[in-house]
Structure formats: C-alpha cells, structure tokens
Amino acid sequence: METLQTILREPIITTVLLALIPLVFLLIYALVTLYGEMKMAAHIQNRLAYMENGWHGTLQPIADMLKLLQKEDIIPTAADKFLFILAPYLVFMGTYASFAVVPFSSVFIGSNIDLGIFYLVAASSLVVVGLLMSGWASNNKWSLFGALRSAAQIVSYEIPGVLAILGVVMVLGTMNMQTMTQLQDGGIHNWLILGGNFPLGQKLALLPFMFLLFVIYLLSSMAEVNRTPFDLPEAESELVQGYNTEYSGMKFAIFYLAEYANLFLVSAVVVVMFFGGWTSPFGEFMSGPVWGSFWFVLKGMFFVFLNIWLRWTLPRLRVDQLMYVSWKVLTPFALFCIIAIGYIMVM
C-alpha cells in the first residue's frame, strides 16, 4: 500500500486502485473457474465439454460472458422493480466487501484491520439479504421458496461456521487475518491443520480438534455458498432455479459471479485459518510476497476444486436433513471443540 501511495501521491486514487485489485482478480478467477468447472464436470461424466472456441474451448467463457452482456434484461411486470434490480448487486457487494480483509500475500491486504475475520463474517451475511430480496421481488413462488430456503440454510450454517472460526481465533489469539497467517509461517508443520506453531505436546493435543474444526468449517462453508450437496436454494429439479429463476442477462451473470466469488472467499478463509494462508509449505524456500500470492491462490483453488468435485459426485440433501446436520451434528461438535481447545490453550 505504501508503495502505491508513493507512486500515486493521491490517497483517493490509491484506495480505489487497491479496491479494484480483488475485483480484477475475481473477474479473471470467475472465467477460469467457469471453464474449469465445465471441464472437470465433463471429465467426471465422460464428456468433452467446450471444444470449439480456441484451444480445447478456452475462449468459451469469454463467449459466454459476451452472450450474457447482449441478452435482453427482462424484468417481470409484476416484480418489485427496485428490489429486483438491487438484489444481485447486494449479493455481490456482500461477497466483494469481504475481500477487503483477505490477505493475498504478505504485502497485499485490502485493509489490515484487527477485527478482520469478524468483519468478514459480518459482511458476507449481507448475501442473505440480497437473496431474500431477489426471491421476494421476483413475484414467483419458486423464487420465494428458494429465497426462504437459502435464508434458513445460510443462517443455520453460519452458526457452526462461526463457532469453528471462534475455535481458531482462540488458538491463535487474533482476529487479524494477516497476523493469523504470519503465526503459521515457517513451513507445512506450522499450519494449524497440523497443530500450528506450538510445543509438541500442545500440538498433538490440538491436532484432532483442528481437524474436526476444519471439517465443520468446510461443510458449513459449502452450505453457505449453496453448493451440492447443500444446493437446495437453487435445486433445479425442485425449484426450477431457485431465487434467480426470473433473472436474465447481466443480472443473472452477477449472481453467478457472486456465487463463484463466494466460493473463493470461503476457500480463502479455510486456507487462512488452517492451511497457512500465503505461507510457503517449504519454510523459506519459495517464499516472499509474489510466491505468497501464488501459494494463496493455489491453495484457494484446491478447495474450489474440492467443491466442484463434490458437486458433480453427490446427490442433494433434503431440507430437514440439512437442518439436522447443522443443528444436531455440526453445532454440538463445534461447541465441544471450543471447550476442549479452551482447556488445551489454558494448560
């Protein structure tokens, strides 16, 4: 940030530029992931997917985007016009605002605030409001169904998710995402999934609980981004397309972008909390600001891949089963982990 400031000398331009970097990253990432998802899905299913545009269809995401740009932007007559237009932007805003505290590398973080992860949880909850808004404003019963389901689902799954985050915060003693990463620096053995940078006894005691918290957070993050097996809000076989049934053209694209952005966001949180963020797995080797962002994106993309992989393999849960998993399985386990971690950290 300081470097940028010295070059540009104008604080406003610096801030705007700084804010645009994640956006540029997101747009490129969304295109790559769109292509990647289609290709992976195809290879899981014995198909070829895009093959026509460019080498192995690499230009297809761009063509898709251009198509969406040209599409007629339909707003249903009976829709609540203001909310209908606002909703997709609100959904994207919630996700994009959260990227402010994601440490992409040791020198790049949008805003290095001490309440980092707390802010992230708060900002990403805005998404629910947007989804509800879109479902309500569409004036479509299926959309409303999808919106209500997604509200219930995201709110329920935020609880085990936040409890898992709380466990990690208790171990590391900070909510600042940059500090969280720095505390895990020094190689793969210092990552929290392997017990973190602690004396051996404590490390071994933490290990099972960290793994449990990781699984809990991973599952609840999948539910928060509406991915299979938790993709009920947009379960196409039941609810047509869920909350975004009535959306077309660029508004639909923004929903899509928000979904992919959200996918990377939760993966980024997993990476920062358990897999050492931008730190190199080999200690000093291949570390530094540029390698840092490489490692960060690589680790993040791994979890994006995991999500895609599961999506094309598993069937979908039912609403009551979804709630059961959240309230009767994940939440008690998360609470148990927190108590255990409390004991371990005090001892």
Partner 1 sequence: MSETIEKIKTSTGHVLRTEEMVVNMGPQHPSTHGVLRLEVVLDGEIVVDVIPHLGYLHRCFEKHCEHMTSYQQVIPYVDRMDYVAAMTNEMAYVVAAEKLLKIEVPERVHYIRIIMSELQRIASHLIAIGTFGIDMGAFTPFLYYFRDREKILELFEMTCGARLLYNYIWIGGLSHDIPPQFVEKTKEFCTDFKKTLQEVNDLLNYNEIFIKRTANVGILPKDLAINYACSGPMLRGSGVNWDLRRDDPYTLYNKFEWDVIVGKGEMGTVGDVWDRNIVRQREMWESLRIIEQAIANIPEGDVQKAIPKRIRPVAGDAYGRIEGPRGELGFYIVAEESVTPYRIKARAPAFVNLSVINEISKGAMLADLVAIIGSIDIVLGEVDR
By CB under 8 A, name the binding residues for partner 1: 41, 44-47, 141-142, 145, 228-229, 231-232, 235-238, 240, 312-321
Smallest separation, CB 87 to partner 1 (Å):
21
- Distance between CA atoms of residues 68 and 113, nearest Å: 37
Token reading at 8: 């540009």
Smallest separation, CB 313 to partner 1 (Å):
6
Half-sphere exposure of 40 (CA within 13 A, CB side): 17
Q: Which is nearer to partner 1, 152 or 250 (CB)?
A: 152
Q: Which is nearer to partner 1, 50 or 275 (CB)?
A: 50
Report cis status (omega within 30 of 0) of the bond before 229.
yes
Smallest separation, CB 12 to partner 1 (Å):
47
Contacts (Cβ under 8 Å, ≥6 apart) of 286: 280, 295
Q: Which is nearer to partner 1, 6 or 237 (CB)?
A: 237
Which of 134, 133, 144, 127 minimizes the C-alpha distance to 240? 144
Q: Which is nearer to partner 1, 67 or 141 (CB)?
A: 141
Smallest separation, CB 263 to partner 1 (Å):
18
- Distance between CA atoms of residues 206 and 340, nearest Å: 9
User: First CA to last CA across the chain, in angstroms?
Assistant: 40
- Distance between CA atoms of residues 245 and 257, nearest Å: 16
> Residue 8: what are its φ and ψ, rounded to 5°?
-95, -25
Q: Which is nearer to partner 1, 8 or 49 (CB)?
A: 49
Smallest separation, CB 320 to partner 1 (Å):
7
Strand partners, 168: none
How far CA 24 is from CA of 27, 46, 252, 261, in Å, comes to 5, 33, 19, 12
Smallest separation, CB 43 to partner 1 (Å):
11
Q: Which is nearer to partner 1, 291 or 312 (CB)?
A: 312
Say which DSSP state 91 is in.
Answer: H
